[in-house]
Structure 1
Amino acid sequence: MVVAIASTLAFAAIVWVTVLNTPGWAQVQESFFDPATAIASFPRIWDGFLLNLQVLAISVVTVGAAALVLAILRTLRGPVFFPVRAIVAGYTDVFRGLPFIIVLYLVGFGIPTLLNERIPPVVLGVTAVTITYSAYVAEVIRAGIEAVHPSQRLAARALGLGYVQTLRRVVLPQALRKITPPLMNDFISMQKDVGLISILGAMDAVRAAQAETSLAYNFTPYVVAGILFILLAIPTIRVTDWYTERLRRREQTGSIL
């Protein structure tokens, strides 16, 4: 306890000397942490943040559904399904390697041009998030499916269960328990990336902060938007840590003598 208090005080002293006590800190505080600007810009940023939450809520469903289909197609057995597996593998390779902001540009400006009609930014944002994150999540689900021991499948088939029943009742429940922590990490990453839909013209939290910054000549609105995204991520991060620790204790219980 004493060591923890001493190290905390030492860290606080270092922060004070290297940051708070520097000549430029007053100007930084005025430009980035002005309370009056934060209060004035908060309503508009909050309205934009609700748009980010809407895109996130829809994307969670669409990404989960698309990723599950991709993972199942990737794990199909037999030579006859080789073209399907190859196409899905190519899809996941491309969109895991392609920067998300490029996908946003391609979707946001390519699809409306292709269809020659105006599409709401929310639809375009959800589409871009789904295309990108379904590739990441599909690989996580595929790894979970393949981590289930083959004897589980054989036992289920011996009991008379078909392929779909085996997948739904035996394989997926075991796989989901194993992959929940990495799935939560992907969800945290997705929470941040929905803020990039501002480049599509959506008046989300980031675009609202940009507008407020141009009016106030102050960068505090960006800090306000950042804090909202942090507050959104913290509960998920804590739940992820709790669940990971719970799984670790559960798996190590049998090894303690």
Structure 2
Amino acid sequence: MTSDLTSTGGARGHIPSALEQDRRAFRTRQSRRSVLVAIASSVAFALIVWLTMVSTPGWTAVQGAFFDPTIAWEALPRVWDGFLLNLQVLALSVVTVAVAAVIIAVARTLPGPVFFPLRVLAAAYTDIFRGLPFIIVLYLVGFGIPTLVGTYMPAILLGTLAVTLTYSAYVAEVIRAGIEAVHPSQRLAARALGLGYTQTLRRVVMPQALRKITPPLMNDFVAMQKDVGLISILGAADAVLAAKIEASQTYNFTPYIVAGILFILLAIPTIRLTDWYTDRLRRREQTGSLI
């Protein structure tokens, strides 16, 4: 028994064949070569772009107007303080958008004729707020609601409301697509086991749907990170408005570059996480299909 296990590689560890070891070594060499080629081509491309920009006649003027290190350093504290307000609106919006989007998506998927009015209202909501430009929603919410109620409302509240109204429509459609992508047999099996509609949705459908729609949800989150910078329209002292004030005082556009860099640094981790998770899902779904 022991000799048989040893001859076949053992029960605890598989010893690949010589052919498989050669294949793995070849894949490793190819991977290293691909990485080196990618690095070399990227460096060459960046160098060509840099030399092309520097050699243009207006580069000196552009560098002075947009990339002044002294002005950037002086504007950073005020822009950073405004950026913290953008982060507050983003944090609140993530929660409110998630709650509103789930409610709208579930309302659109309710079965039966009795829920027809709810399905129509949910569909109308998503159609309207996906069609309206976000800047118009900001104007309608930021200046219309305070006028309607006749009282002052903080810009952070109005900005969060505008972001929620717009992005809950997009996210609701993504969630609805994920719910409808779950095969009907999953629902039928859950109901056969005695689960009710709500239990089936919560324990069977939603976990599978969320796993499928995580990448597009992350992309919506990246878009939302950018659009919170538009709340400066409401008079909020965010990063964009702070950059505008600094630019008007220095007659230089460098503060806008500082604000842009902060938003880029905020978005990059989410973008990379999205790419990693998408690749992970692809590799898991294609396991065994690659030679």
Task: Give the TM-score, by structure 2 length.
Answer: 0.86
Q: Does 1:124 align with 2:158?
A: yes
Map 1:1-257 → 2, pairs under 5 A: 1=33, 3-4=37-38, 7-8=41-42, 10-256=44-290
Alpha-carbon offset, residue 11 of structure 1: 2.0
CA 1:9–1:242: 2 relative to 1, 3 Å: closer
**Structure with higher RCO (Cα < 8 A, 6+ apart):** 1
Task: Give the TM-score, by structure 1 length.
Answer: 0.97
Letter in 1 for 2:207: P
Letter in 2 for 1:123: L
For structure 2, the residue ranges without an aligned partner over 5 or more in a row are: 1-32
Q: How many angstroms apart in 2 are the aligned matches of 1:88 and 1:5? A: 49
Which structure would you say has the larger Rg?
A: 2
CA 1:4–1:244: 2 relative to 1, 3 Å: closer
Alpha-carbon offset, residue 79 of structure 1: 1.3
**RMSD after superposition:** 1.3
The alignment of Structure 1 onto Structure 2 pairs a total of residues equal to 257
Alpha-carbon offset, residue 8 of structure 1: 3.6
Q: How many angstroms apart in 2 are the aligned matches of 1:6 and 1:62? A: 45
Q: Deviations over 1:88-120 (max 9, x none)?
A: 101101100110000000000000000011100
Letter in 2 for 1:159: L
CA 1:150–1:32: 2 relative to 1, 3 Å: same
